[in-house]
């Protein structure tokens, strides 16, 4: 391990401050907050504005929506209940939720609890947004799956980032503990971890400094406040509702550095369960889909592994990274979706400049004459359609959201900033089955942004069955 001295950490603080100021000005990010903890030292950097409507500043202790970072908290809760004998990771979900079903009869029967938290369940519910609130929100979500959502693949066959799996896991937790998901999160993670400012609702968040998301105005790129602060309660375990500060997420990340022990010395998770979360559970063997643990995504940077999860919220994006080999936790939030690029810059700076990690190139030299025909066609998942064609020796993708009903459209468009389709995007072939967005330098994909690459899988009879973008699968129609 290359130690980071206190002086080096303060050098990192100055670098983060400069990177944040430059990116916020150049990329129209209203506000940004980040923190690093290593070997007993901690720094926090805040810059800009938390809410352009009010002018409230982004402060060191400003709260923000965790987004999908919550999935690691949810997984921690599942492992806790497994340790206590209330859950069996290898039991069918139906053992705990007899009502659990999907639109294809019998499709849910083979899904195990383990599949829910390893993103290998195949539930096609990534854009399913039932608008329910309160104590029965997750119960309503699970009941709605039977008439609204099918499957993308057989359990364990593929890996696809799964909001639905985490929400079902949250409902399993409610059933086996008798507590609501927010109550359980507060009792078994927030309290023992020392996440003193974390909460689970807008009603709690409004009592203290809290950032809101923003979207760029299409005409001027000027940030405008989101019209929806958070997703419905049905999305709590996947990242819809939990809120906290940089200090809160640094405290949680430290648990996963210390074998399950919180900064206060409280045992949150056993060393065995902590290690299990960090161990590879499924690997798609493609650079745009890093190996998956339980909850954690394992990003390889040469011989160094970064355990990470990012989280989108309406008009904002967070990230939590744990680097066990270097006893380091990094977390950040920016209040426009494009802030993920700044997250990536800071992560790579910390790895290369301050930890001495060599970051190898993800992309090799493009292979000549890649046959594009197997990848052209239409791919679908729930309410999402991607049309892929061959244009001038490249793949061109057109992505369209096709809402199931007015409620789904209202929630999705508010979450996405008002859009239901994306401009056409062209991709250049790197090798058979792997493509990079045209017009970007190859080194852009060496860090967290390798998720922007697109891969195609399971070619049969000259046609790929699956497309993977951003860790999410769509299936050939």
Q: What is the pLDDT of residues 51-95, one digit of tens each?
A: 999 999 999 999 999 999 999 999 999 999 999 999 999 999 999
Other C-beta atoms lying within 10 Å of the C-beta of residue 51: 21
Determine the 3-state secondary structure of 324 from DSSP.
helix
| CATH number of residue 74's parent domain | 3.40.710.10
Cα–Cα distance for residue pair 196/117, rounded to 1 Å: 26
Residues 356 and 458 occupy one common structural domain: no
> Is 312 a member of any domain?
yes
Cα–Cα distance for residue pair 154/235, rounded to 1 Å: 24
Residues 400 and 325 occupy one common structural domain: no
E-strand ranges in 217-303 read 223-225, 243-244, 297-301
Which H or E run includes 202? helix 202-205
Question: With 90 as the cut, is the pLDDT of residue 218 above it?
Answer: no
> Is 174 a member of any domain?
yes
C-alpha 103 chain-centroid distance: 26
Of 68, 47, 45, 71, whose CA–CA distance to 58 is shortest? 47
- pLDDT tens sequence across 351-371: 999 999 999 999 999 999 999
Cα–Cα distance for residue pair 66/43, rounded to 1 Å: 19
Lowest mean pLDDT across 2-11, 20-29, 388-397, 404-413: 2-11
Average pLDDT over residues 225-237: 97
Residues 337 and 241 occupy one common structural domain: yes
Question: With 90 as the cut, is the pLDDT of residue 420 above it?
Answer: no
Of 185, 470, 150, whose CA–CA distance to 312 is shortest? 470
Residues 155 and 253 occupy one common structural domain: yes
Cα–Cα distance for residue pair 234/8, rounded to 1 Å: 43
> Is 69 a member of any domain?
yes
Determine the 3-state secondary structure of 432 from DSSP.
coil
- 8 A C-beta contact, residue 446 and residue 427: no
Average pLDDT over residues 294-303: 97
Cα–Cα distance for residue pair 136/341, rounded to 1 Å: 37
Question: With 70 as the cut, is the pLDDT of residue 190 above it?
Answer: yes
- 8 A C-beta contact, residue 362 and residue 441: no
- At residue 5, the pLDDT reads 55
> Is 366 a member of any domain?
no
- 8 A C-beta contact, residue 126 and residue 382: yes
> Is 282 a member of any domain?
yes
Residues 380 and 320 occupy one common structural domain: no
- 8 A C-beta contact, residue 192 and residue 268: yes
- At residue 418, the pLDDT reads 86
Q: Which domain holds residue 125?
A: 1-360
Residue 61, Cβ density class (10 Å: 0-12 exposed, 13-18 middle, ≥19 buried) = middle
Residues 392 and 253 occupy one common structural domain: no
- At residue 379, the pLDDT reads 98
> Is 285 a member of any domain?
yes
Final residue before a domain boundary, out of 360, 381, 398 = 360
Cα–Cα distance for residue pair 76/237, rounded to 1 Å: 11
**Beta bridge mates, 51:** 56
Round the average pLDDT of the chain to a whole number and report it. Answer: 96
> Is 368 a member of any domain?
no
- At residue 6, the pLDDT reads 60
* 39 conformational bin, left if phi > 0, alpha if psi -120 to 50, beta if neither: left
Residues 64 and 110 occupy one common structural domain: yes
Of 153, 76, 105, whose CA–CA distance to 472 is shortest? 153
Final residue before a domain boundary, out of 360, 388, 404 = 360
Residues 338 and 315 occupy one common structural domain: yes
Average pLDDT over residues 98-113: 96
> Is 365 a member of any domain?
no
Final residue before a domain boundary, out of 301, 325, 360 = 360
- At residue 1, the pLDDT reads 44
Residues 445 and 319 occupy one common structural domain: no
- 8 A C-beta contact, residue 165 and residue 235: no
- pLDDT tens sequence across 164-183: 999 999 999 999 999 999 99
Residues 246 and 199 occupy one common structural domain: yes
Cα–Cα distance for residue pair 274/41, rounded to 1 Å: 23
How far is residue 246 from each of residues 193, 261, 383, measured CA to CA in Å?
13, 19, 34
**Beta bridge mates, 376:** none
Question: With 80 as the cut, is the pLDDT of residue 384 above it?
Answer: yes
- pLDDT tens sequence across 198-208: 999 999 999 99
Cα within 13 Å of Cα(476), Cβ side: 15
Residues 311 and 395 occupy one common structural domain: no
- Per this entry, what is the length of the chain? 477
Q: Which residues of 131-150 are buried (b: 16+ CB within 10 A; e: fewer)?
A: ebeeeebbbbbbbebeebbb
Number of domains in the chain: 2
Residues 228 and 346 occupy one common structural domain: yes
DSSP string, 73-110: HHHHHHHHHHHTTS--TTSBGGGT-TT---SSTTTTTT
- At residue 2, the pLDDT reads 44
């Amino acid at each position: 391990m290359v130690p980071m001295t206190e002086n080096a950490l303060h050098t990192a603080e100055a670098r983060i401050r400069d990177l944040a100021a430059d990116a916020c000005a150049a990329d129209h990010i209203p506000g940004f907050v980040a923190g690093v903890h290593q070997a007993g030292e901690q720094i926090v950097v805040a810059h800009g504005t938390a809410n352009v409507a009010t002018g409230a500043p982004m402060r060191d202790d400003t709260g923000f929506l965790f987004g999908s970072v919550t999935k690691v908290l949810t997984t921690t809760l599942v492992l806790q209940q497994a340790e206590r004998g209330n859950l069996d990771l290898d039991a069918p979900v139906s053992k705990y939720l007899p009502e659990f079903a999907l639109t294809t009869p019998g499709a849910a029967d083979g899904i195990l609890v383990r599949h829910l938290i390893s993103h290998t369940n195949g539930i096609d519910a990534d854009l399913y947004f039932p608008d329910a609130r309160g104590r029965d929100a997750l119960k309503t979500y699970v009941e709605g799956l039977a008439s609204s959502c099918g499957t993308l693949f057989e359990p364990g066959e593929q890996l696809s980032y799964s909001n639905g799996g985490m929400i079902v896991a949250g409902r399993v937790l409610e059933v086996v503990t008798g507590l609501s998901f927010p109550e359980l999160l507060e009792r078994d993670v927030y309290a023992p971890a020392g996440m003193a400012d974390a909460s689970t609702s807008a009603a709690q968040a409004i009592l203290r400094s809290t950032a809101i998301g923003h979207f760029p105005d299409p005409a001027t790129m000027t940030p405008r406040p989101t019209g929806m602060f958070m997703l419905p309660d049905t999305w709590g375990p996947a990242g819809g509702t939990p809120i906290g500060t940089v200090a809160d997420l640094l405290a949680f990340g430290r648990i996963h550095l210390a074998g399950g022990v919180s900064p206060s010395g409280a045992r949150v998770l056993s060393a065995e369960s902590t290690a299990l979360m960090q161990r590879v559970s499924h690997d798609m063997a493609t650079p745009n889909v890093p190996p998956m643990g339980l909850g954690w995504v394992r990003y390889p940077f040469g011989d160094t592994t970064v355990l990470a999860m990012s989280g989108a919220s309406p008009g904002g994006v967070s990230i939590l990274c744990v680097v066990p080999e270097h006893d380091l936790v990094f977390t950040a939030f920016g209040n426009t979706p494009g802030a993920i690029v700044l997250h990536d810059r800071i992560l790579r700076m910390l790895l290369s400049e301050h930890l001495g990690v060599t970051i190898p190139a993800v992309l090799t030299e493009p292979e000549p004459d890649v046959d594009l025909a197997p990848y052209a066609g239409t791919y679908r998942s729930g309410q999402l359609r991607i049309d892929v064609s061959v244009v001038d020796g490249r793949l061109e993708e057109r992505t369209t959201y096709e809402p199931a009903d007015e409620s789904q459209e209202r929630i999705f468009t508010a979450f996405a900033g008002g859009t239901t389709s994306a401009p056409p995007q062209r991709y250049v072939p790197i090798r058979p089955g792997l493509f990079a967005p045209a017009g970007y330098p190859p080194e852009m994909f060496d860090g967290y942004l390798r998720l922007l690459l697109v891969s195609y899988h399971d070619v049969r009879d000259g046609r790929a069955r699956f497309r993977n973008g951003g860790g999410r699968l769509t299936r050939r129609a």
